[in-house]
Structure formats: structure tokens, C-alpha cells
Amino acid sequence: MLTLNYIAKRIVISTLLIFGIVILTFLMIQLTPGDPAIIWAGKPRGPGATAAIARAREYLGLNLPLYQRLALYMYKFLMGDWGLSVEFKQPVFHLVVRNFMASLEIVVYAFAVAVPLSLWLGTRAALSRGGLGDKTIYFLSVVLAGMPRFLVAVLIFLMLYLFGYGYLGLRVSPKYTTFSGLTGMITVDSLIAGRLDIFLDAFLRLIPASIALATYPMGVITRVVRVSLSETFEEEYVRQAISIGLPRKVIVRRYAYPNIVSVVAQLTGLLFSYMLLETMVVENVFSREGLGTLTSRAIVASDYPVVIGATVFTSIVLIVANTIADIVQAVTNPRVQL
């Protein structure tokens, strides 16, 4: 019951946060210095400028009072009408979702690589704390997490280049670019459509990028697993289990791991926001398309609707991810709710 209460509370708070983000971006649009319509239309110049500004003025409802504008903005937001991109001439919602999914694909694969690996490394380090293995793993994790992601990505790219795999850039090979599907993640879509050749191609191109990205969460999660496992080994119930004489594997897996699941879950949620920045960098190096290319093209064209849309969407995804992480944490560790 307590858990259900907590989950309900968490979900209500997250909904409020999502609305807060929408209101925040609304304020950022409306309270810009100068004319909001000009900025929304992408600071246009040339013959079509007045028409574009008039359209933007109508879209934003600038002749209405502020509270009606907010209601209008909320309504349009919920209906998925996030405006028209200045640069790409497409609805912002589709643009943002498509590019975000491309970035999310790398993040998901990176976590899939990083979490099991760092659990293993962290356990090894915690079991031999103070020894040579621990010191090596610890130092390696600090270095991996501290290296700028472009350095890691370029080193991997250089290696691929030297061994003759330099073509593994892009998301899919140019002959498959017309392929598109429901989720926007090529590896998932191609499996749904039953196109194994596309899946293999996309997957091969995904591996170097996600390994480059995975180095960051690996470094961080390894350190946290090491610390929290060491703490767990000091707990009474683990000492009890040790004194009974259970084998080490059982102690680590059955007794110690359940205690650190909550910590790892929460950390994964928190890392999400920073990972997004790193994804953009990695995408840039491997010349994949995604949120990074979208945003940098939007900046050049002063495409305000796209950047606003990307900000709102990303923030919402981060809030949802953190909520899920918190719920997992609460379920696995009921003490959190107090």
C-alpha cells in the first residue's frame, strides 16, 4: 500500500513537472526581448518576411491576453501541433521525435553495454578492495568517465579507419535511406519489418558509436557499484549470511545485489540527462543524424520552434525516465519512501 501511494505521488509530481516545463518554455517564447513573432519566425529577411511574421503572430496568438495565450499554447501542445520548422518546413513534433529516437537508440544500446559490464567490474573491485585489481579498475573507471567523449569516439573511429572499416559512419548505408518505420529506431523497425539485411547494417554501424558512448556510464556506475557493494558487505544481514558459511557467489548474488539495484536504477535515471549531451557529441563524430545535427542546423537557421520543441520533448523524456527510476528504486528499496 505504501508503495502504491508513493508511486501515485511520484506520478502526480511528474505530471506537474511536465506542465511546468511547458509553462517555462511558454514564458521563454512570450517574454523574449523584442517581438516574439520575429524570433518564432526565425528572424526572417527578404520578401516573405512580413507574411511569415504575421503567420507566427497568429500562431502564437499575440493579440490575445496572456492567460488565453497560455491556454492556446497548452491546447496546441497537447494536440501535437508544435509549430512549423523554419529550416525544414516540417511539423516540429515529427522532426523532434524522429531525431530524438535516433539519439535514444544509441543511448539504449550504450546502457545495454555499460550496465552489465560495470556491475561485473564493480563487483570485482569491491571484492578485492585495496588490491591491485581494485586499483586498476578504479583508475580505469575514473579515466574512462573523465575522458571527453570526442576523444574516445575519435580514437575508436581512427582505429576503424586504420583497419579499413572507416565507412561505418552514418546510421544506415545510403542504399537503405528510404527505409522508415514506426518507432524511428532502425534496428527495431527493421526487425519488425523482417528485413534482416537492414538490421545487420544498422547494428554494425551502431556498435562503435554505442561503445564510445558507453564508456561514460561504465566509469560512473562501476565506481558507484563498488562503493555501495562495499557498504552492503558491512550490513548485518550480509555478515549474518557470511557467518553461516554460505558460498561467496550466493552471498554476492542473493544477498548483496538486491540492495544495490535501487542505487543503480536511480543513477541510470540521473545519468540520462548527461548522456544526451554525450550522444550528440558521438553522433557528430560518427556523422550520424540525430538530436545534435538537428539542433546545430536549427541554431544556424535561428529555428526557434525546433529548439523549443526539442527542449520540451527532451525534458519530458528525462522526467519520465527519472520517474521510472524512482519507482524502481522505491519498489526495490522500501526505505526510500520514508
Partner 1 sequence: MISYVSSVLQEAFSMARKTWRRRYLFRVATLLIFALAFLAILGPYIAPYPRQGMGIEIDRARAFKPPSLEHFLGTDSLGRDVLSRILFALNRALASCVFVVVLSLVIGLFLGSFAAISSKPVEAIVSYLTELLLALPSVLLSALLAILFGGTYEAVLIALIVTWFPWYARIAYVQARGLRELDFVKIPMYYGLSKWYIVTKHIAPNIVAPMIIEALSDIGSVALEISAITFLFGIGIKSIEEPDLGVMIAYSLRDVTTAPWTFLAPASILALIAISFTLFGEVIYEEYHPVLRKRWWLWF
> Which residue matches cell numbers 544556424?
300
Task: With CA atoms as reference, report the closest residue to 212 among 168, 164, 148, 119.
Answer: 148
Task: Give the SS3 label for residue 147.
Answer: coil
Query: With contacts defined by CB under 8 A, how many residues of the chain interact with partner 1?
Result: 61
**No. of helices (H) and no. of strands (E), the chain:** 14, 0
DSSP state of 170: S
Burial of residue 257 (CB within 10 Å: 0-12, 13-18, 19+) is middle
- Interface segment toward partner 1; rule CB under 8 A; list 44-52, 149-157, 197-205, 327-335: 149-157
Amino acid occupying residue 49: A
Task: Give the SS3 label for residue 194.
Answer: coil
CB of 86 to partner 1, least distance (A): 11
CB of 244 to partner 1, least distance (A): 10
- Interface segment toward partner 1; rule CB under 8 A; list 124-132, 177-185, 192-200, 204-212: 124-132
Distance CA 154, CA 282 (A): 9
CB of 241 to partner 1, least distance (A): 9
- Interface segment toward partner 1; rule CB under 8 A; list 1-9, 59-67, 157-165, 258-266: 157-165
CB of 157 to partner 1, least distance (A): 8
Does residue 269 interact with partner 1 by CB under 8 A?
no
Stretch 24-53 residues interacting with partner 1 (CB under 8 A): 24, 28, 32-33, 39
C-alpha grid cell for residue 121? 567490474
Distance CA 178, CA 251 (A): 52
- Interface segment toward partner 1; rule CB under 8 A; list 53-61, 71-79, 117-125, 222-230: 222-230
Amino acid occupying residue 256: A
State the residues that interact with partner 1 by CB under 8 A. 13, 16-17, 20-21, 24, 28, 32-33, 39, 127-130, 142-143, 145-151, 154, 157-158, 161, 223, 227, 230-231, 234, 242, 248, 251, 273-274, 276-278, 280-281, 284-285, 292, 295-296, 298-299, 302-304, 307-308, 310-311, 314-315, 318-319, 322
